[in-house]
Structure 1
Amino acid sequence: MKKQLSLIVITAILLVIAVLIEKGLIFNIHFSIFNLLLLYLVPYLLIGHDTLKEALEGLMHGDIFNEHFLMSIATIGALCIGFLPGAETEFPEAVFVMLFFQVGELFEGYAEGKSRDSIAHLMDIRPDVAHLEETGRQGDRELQDISPEAVEVGSIIVIRPGEKVPLDGIIIEGSTSLNTIALTGESLPREISVGDEVISGCVNLSGVIRVRTTKAFGESTVSKILSLVENAGENKSKSEAFITRFARIYTPIVVFAAVALAIIPTLFGGALATWLYRALMFLVVSCPCALVISVPLTFFGGIGGASRKGILIKGASYMDVLAKLHTVVFDKTGTLTHGQFAVTAVHPEACNEHQLLHLAAHLEHYSTHPIGAALRDAFPEEATDGCEVSEVEEVAGHGIRARVGGKTVCVGNTKMMDAVGANWHDCHHVGTIIHVAIDGQYAGHIVINDKIKDDSAEAIRQLDALGIAKTVMLTGDRQEVGEKVAEQLGLSEYHAELLPADKVSHVERLLGEKPANSYLAFVGDGINDAPVLARADVGIAMGGLGSDAAIEAADIVLMDDKPSKIALAVSIARRTILIAQQNVGVAIGIKVAVLILATLGIATMWLAVFADVGVTVLAVLNAMRALRTTA
């Protein structure tokens, strides 16, 4: 771009000098028309040699009707028109057309660079090296720096502060915080320690960690995301496909129309120089640069802007679908909820909340059930409070009985309470109820449930505000759980206790109910919802910070698992489509107006240049707005 800018500046200076010489304002010398041509050929060839070369290569490869061909024919014609009897020289116009065309190319290159920069932050996540841990001859640990591609699954790697995580794996030693902004768009660091998963592409911020790799580099998150972004341009939007087809038909038509404009009027006595000049203007104006460049650039910018927010869109075609969504269907577990059991309510009766959680956590220490893990997480002091637990007995289908502090404690379901004679009662909260009894006396109960994500309700509100007609939840969970979640989030409808095949059936029904030329999106975790993701018009997956199935199966991946990003994706898509439509409307409108003026002899070559390159510059600048996101 620096070289191109230098050529533009030098050419502009040489053009001004040539005009001043021609007008006799400097070097008061009379130049013949041939000498003037040579004078103007210097800046013309300096700025136009690349365009002329592209036009020649297009002719040799059968790609005749492109913008380089049109510019070359129009400018060469302008250089030659002065040799016709009674015609004025158009040497300055010819150089200026080529000069301004290169200015347009400069703006296009700058805009493309900005668009690529918006996606390039994803390319920066590619790791350069992995520190592979090996056992030395003396039994000590040695580090060997190798390419991440050469690290085998199950190997131990060491990641130091400031380094990129080269491979997906599990932390076996150390703790740190991770910068995940390149993947999720979120600047808040993620705290991790032993047992937590790390994914490639993040940046280690603070501590040294040892990681056991769980995937080869080719299967790691960073590789899949890079592949996704690099191939995003393959799926063209309807607008892009239309413009491509339009240009292939439109360009030959206007070339032949220009030829007809130059020849036919002369058959009826028109001046050849006059109508040839108008035909050249016709060629300059009709060049489809503004459309061919700005529309794909707009979609490329939209995809880049979305990626900066952690929304990975696999192609511009999905922008069209997002912009016209009518129905959004959600899975529940892992999508609207966290997909993990947690304590949502504690209702003590014969003790306080702390004591109730204390007793339940101690007994559930001996359980491998996910509910046991939820209770232990709710009372982390259980492992260090020194309380003795003995005579532990797990009663199948009932719960656990043990001696804690000299008392018999039972933790389980209503059957366990009936067996020990405890006078239990039900709870108005929806979820799994864990009852506790001490020496046969009912002590209270704890409610375990899958917690709704913090921004799920906001996601539904935002979609409603965007005019999405239906928000539907499909879940395999119990009816009362589905009803409670749907009520809390304000969903249009819900269906519970569904098998995967039932979800597909409901999506088929919803597809049949939506209006024509509107679309349905399904949002899931990408693991057990692959059939529905594939059946929907667009599949949106929670990336899960490394869910292979999500990245593989979906058309759009939300890398930070936030449902609210769906509304942002819709807004970005609609804004991108609007910008593309603006560019098409303005470009065609101005071109048609100037084409009419050129045919009537009212327009000048300068106006023709504006109608082509000027409109292209305006369209490119407008397309760059797609890079900016509104949230």
Structure 2
Amino acid sequence: MPNRNKNAEETVSCAAEETCGCSCCQHEDADRQIDTGVWYKSSEFYEIFIGAVFFIAAQIISFYIAAYQLPLLIISYLILGKDILLSAGRNILNGRVFDENFLMSIATIGAFAIEEYPEAVGVMLFFRVGEFFEERAANKSRKQIIDAVDMRPETVMLVDENNEVTTAAADQAAVGDIIMVRPGDRIPLDGTVIEGVSQIDASPLTGESVPVMAAEGGTVLSGCINKTGVLKIRVEKVLAESMVSKILAAVQSAAANKPRIQRFISRFARVYTPIVVVIAVLIAVIPSLITGQWHDYIYIALTFLVISCPCALVLSVPLAFFSGIGTASRQGILFKDGAAIEALTQIKAAALDKTGTITQGIFAVQEIKAGNNFTEDEILQFCASAENASSHPLAVSIVRQAKEKMLDIKPAADIEEVSGKGVKAYIDNKKIVCGNAAFMQDHNIQIGAAAEKTAVYLAVDNQYAGCIALGDKIKEDAVGAIAKLKQQGISVAMLTGDSAEGAAPAAREAGIDIIHARLLPQEKLDILQKIRSEKGKVLFVGDGINDAPVLANADVGAAMGSGADAAIEAADVVFMTSRVDAIPYALKLAKTTRSIAVQNVVFALAVKLIIMICGLLGYASLWSAVFADTGVAIICVLNAVRILYSDRFA
């Protein structure tokens, strides 16, 4: 099977790791594959096991034949430490001195020099054991992230004009090709269903566990799983442009752009380690010259050398962010930029578009007001008959409602449509005028007060007959999501190009108090700047082409996955589910991720500082120094990967 994950693994591994020098952090090892084999069959495990056997044998034999202890300890040390000694030598030749390999080599050789033989070998043994489990934990985290985001197919089942099925590489499928997807298979490419009916599990993309129906004419996305029926799909996007590739590209991009705290840790590690090494040398030399107790102060200095490695910081901080990225991707949230997670933690206000973001983007008849001896069905019937040939969203909604009520849609004659206003026609020899308030005014038809909602007015033979109020229904999760945002201290505003009459009901129903309506793209930018100056950093969420400039200029721009490609390209975050409650979830996940990264920094530095102080006072041994390095790193890695198990929309 081809190594389809190789590039993704390299990107995540290399971007996550800095040069502290341990085997799970070295750039020279960044191109290796993530080890997913059985742990007890690895060569590293056998080295540790054999080295431990010689170490234990040396300790036992020292009670009977003391002369044999040192040779056994030397054999154990060479088995356990040969790779570390060789890596230290290579790194010194390459100009990388202050890494973990160098520090452990100097510390253990120094322990031999002061005749602390068992401790020298014991430190190397437990360092290797700790490093082994640390690497396993780190690899498990990386593998979970890769498994979560890399759903690229290797092959597709192509259907030719003779209805024969052949297997081909996924990247060879072209737009317009027909592919077959069997029940249980993952949909390999984005496309349109041309034959078949099936339930689709979209949870790999959206996190939604409830299957959705796919039938002829419906759009399906790569990465989803076909559950029940055979589908024939016309390819709309090649592999490089399909959703599965976009997801992987987003995570790779996020891995490549480090958040500020990670950049700080990288710079800190490069300064911190040499300083501690210099301090260790001073501790070994100055007090020893004064007191003559070379053995004691060299021992303390060696402890400092082991403690000084910043492995826990360098490894665990990026793993926290990558765990956050992996968790978000499993829930249908794509961070295009690694810094976007950190930026979300500083958001004070959220500006949301209306149509397609808060609302479903589908108009529906909400109310029919009849007058002058007309019934509601007559109003709907006349409007539907006049609007039947129109492609306007309001007209389509009216016709759909009439068909659902099984009303007779009559033929219209002399149809005259005025773009943006309405339609004039003759039905049953009656003059029908159907449109907005301005259209009624153009025909000198009195309608009284305009409806609060978006409305289509009807006049029959120049007499007002009634109106149909239409609305874009808010999404089912909008009310709860807005409430969660407010609970998080986020100020919420609606920025929309719709009229105030159309925006106000949706905003009130969703729980949004601040409304800015009838905005052009530039006016949305101006309002965004105003909100930023009043509240602080702003998150903007939209889905239309006209939202692209605002998305690009917001502190964090987020696009609904059902929106226009231009909006998705301009955004920092994409909510593939198009759910409103993904917004507060993303904010909460970002804060949790950064909090865990900070916890790791504070914990690692605190433990190292405490053991350093204890070492200065003569109470810390090389054993405690190993815990301060490798033990703390393991704890920090485990703390980081717990993000992967966070509850959805909790």
Task: State which of 358, 383, 388 in structure 2 corresponds to 1:365.
Answer: 388
SS of the residue 1:258 aligns to = helix
SS in 2 for 1:588: helix
Aligned to 1:96: 122
Indicate the residue corresponding to 2:98 in structure 1.
65
Pairing 1:30–2:63 present:
no
Query: Hey, what's the Cα distance between the residues in 2 that align with 1:586 and 1:218?
Result: 42
For the structure 1 residues 375 and 108, does the alpha-carbon distance in structure 2 shift closer, same or farther, using more than 3 Å as the test? farther
Q: Secondary structure of 2:646's match?
A: coil
The structural deviation recorded for 1:323 is: 1.0
Aligned letter for 2:566? A
Task: Give the deviation of 1:483 after TM superposition.
Answer: 3.0
Which stretch has the larger CA shift, 122-131 or 414-423?
414-423
Alignment correspondent of 1:86: none
Q: Distance in 1 between matches of 2:184 and 2:121?
A: 52
504, 512, 521: which one aligns with 1:500: 521
In the alignment, the residues of structure 2 paired with residue 71 and residue 551 of structure 1 have an alpha-carbon distance, to the nearest angstrom, of 49
Q: 1:107 to 1:568 in 2, by over 3 A?
A: farther
Rounded to whole Å, the distance in 2 between the matches of 1:525 and 1:455 is 17
How far did 1:21 drift? 1.6
Give the drift of 1:498.
1.2
Q: Deviations over 1:351-386 (max 9, x none)?
A: 76666555644554332222222123334447xx69
Give the alignment partner of residue 139 of structure 2, picking from 90, 113, 117.
Answer: 113
Contact 1:341-1:449 at 8 Å conserved across structures: yes
Equivalent pair of 2:283/2:297 in contact (CA under 8 Å):
yes
CA contact (8 A) 2:254 2:339 kept: no
- C-alpha distance in 1, partners of 2:544/2:284? 61
TM-score (norm 1): 0.88
- Cα distance in 1 for partners of 2:249, 2:160 equals 31
Q: 1:103-142, aligned counterparts within 5 Å?
A: 103-135=129-161, 140-142=162-164
Cross-structure match for 1:51? 84
Matched residues in 1 for 2:175 and 2:50: separation? 58
Q: Secondary structure at the match of 2:642?
A: helix
> Mapping of 1:75-90 within 5 angstroms?
75-82=108-115, 90=116
Do the aligned residues in 1 keep the contact of 2:481 with 2:584 (CA within 8 Å)?
Answer: yes
Q: What TM-score do the two structures reach when normalised by structure 2?
A: 0.85
Instruction: List aligned pairs for 1:69-468, cutoff 5 A.
Output: 69-82=102-115, 90-135=116-161, 140-348=162-370, 357=380, 360-361=383-384, 363-381=386-404, 387=408, 389-397=410-418, 398-399=422-423, 401=425, 403=427, 412-413=435-436, 428-435=451-458, 444-468=466-490
Are residues 1:484 and 2:505 paired?
Answer: yes
CA distance in 2, matches of 1:11, 1:442: 96
Report the secondary structure of 2:390's partner residue.
coil
Residue 580 in structure 1 maps to residue 597 in structure 2: yes
- Structure 2 residue runs without a partner (length 5+): 1-38
CA 1:226–1:354: 2 relative to 1, 3 Å: farther
CA shift in 2, pair 1:364/1:119, >3 Å: farther
User: How far apart, CA to CA, are the structure 1 residues paired with 2:614 and 2:487?
Assistant: 45
| Equivalent pair of 2:196/2:231 in contact (CA under 8 Å) | yes
Give the direction of change, closer, same or farther, for the CA distance of 1:267–1:446 in structure 2 (3 Å limit).
same
CA deviation map 1:141-168 (0-9, x unaligned): 3333222322222333333322222222
Alignment of 1:512-527 (within 5 A): 512-515=533-536, 519-525=537-543, 527=545
Kindly indicate whether residue 558 of structure 2 is the aligned counterpart of residue 532 of structure 1: no
Distance 1:436 1:162, change over 3 A: farther
Q: Report the more deviating stretch, 414-423 or 592-601.
A: 414-423
Contact 1:539 1:554 (C-alpha < 8 Å) held by counterparts? yes
Once structures 1 and 2 are overlaid, which stretch shifts more, 190-199 or 553-562? 190-199
1:30-82 CA-partner distances (Å, limit 9, x unpaired): 31xxx433211333333333333332232122111112221222122222320
C-alpha deviation, 1:252, in angstroms: 0.8
Cα distance per residue 1:481-504 (max 9 Å; x no partner)? 233333333335221111111111
Post-superposition offset of 1:595: 0.9
Amino acid at match of 1:295: V
SS in 2 for 1:461: helix
Q: Secondary structure at the match of 1:172?
A: strand
In 1: Cα distance, 2:573 partner to 2:409 partner: 52
Partner of 2:28: none
Give the direction of change, closer, same or farther, for the CA distance of 1:231–1:111 in structure 2 (3 Å limit).
farther
After superposition, the C-alpha distances for 1:160-188 in whole angstroms (9 at most, x for unaligned) are: 32222222222233332221111111111
Whichever residue aligns with residue 376 of structure 1, its letter is V
The secondary structure found in structure 1 opposite 2:208 is coil
1:201-248, Cα deviation, whole Å (9 max, x unpaired): 222222223333222322222222211112321111111111100100
Report the Cα offset of residue 423 of structure 1: 8.4
1:412-443 CA-partner distances (Å, limit 9, x unpaired): 45688899999866565411334375x88876
* Counterpart secondary structure, 2:233: strand
Q: Kindly provide the amino acid, as one letter, of the partner of residue 20 in structure 1.
A: I
Asked if 1:604 corresponds to 2:611, the answer is no
Distance in 2 of aligned mates of 1:235 and 1:163: 34
Larger mean Cα displacement after TM superposition, 106-115 or 231-240: 106-115
Matched, 1:624 2:641: yes
Deviations 1:72-118 (A, max 9, x none): 22122222320xxxxxxx22322232232233323332332332243
Task: Measure how far apart 1:586 and its partner are.
Answer: 1.7
- Name the residue aligned to 1:85: none
1:548 to 552, 559, 565: 565
Task: State the 1:253 CA deviation.
Answer: 1.0
Distance 1:353 1:158, change over 3 A: farther
Of the candidates 509, 513, 517, which is equivalent to residue 530 of structure 2?
509
State the SS of the aligned residue for 2:96. Answer: coil
- Residues 440-493 of structure 1: CA deviation (Å, up to 9, x unaligned): 88764322222222222222211110112x212211111222333333333352
1:112/1:156 CA distance change after superposition, 3 Å:
same
Shift of 1:17: 2.6
Q: Given the superposition, is the C-alpha separation of residues 548 and 63 from structure 1 closer, same or farther in structure 2, using an over 3 Å criterion?
A: farther
Contact 1:121/1:182 (8 A) holds in 2: no
Q: Counterparts of 2:496 and 2:367 in 1: how far apart (Å)?
A: 23
Shift of 1:302: 1.5
Supply the distance in 1 between the matched residues of 2:118 and 2:149 (Cα, whole angstroms). 45
Whole-angstrom CA distance in 2 between matches of 1:197 and 1:402 = 38
Q: Helix, strand or coil: the match of 1:191?
A: strand
Task: Give CA deviations for 1:493-532 in whole Å, capped at 9, x if unaligned.
Answer: 22111111111122223333345xxx22111116321211
Q: Does 1:42 align with 2:75?
A: yes
SS at match of 1:127: coil
In 1, the alpha carbon distance for the partners of 2:50 and 2:376 equals: 81
Which range is displaced more, 417-426 or 205-214? 417-426
Q: Deviation of residue 326 (structure 1)? A: 1.0
Identity rate of aligned residues, in percent? Answer: 43
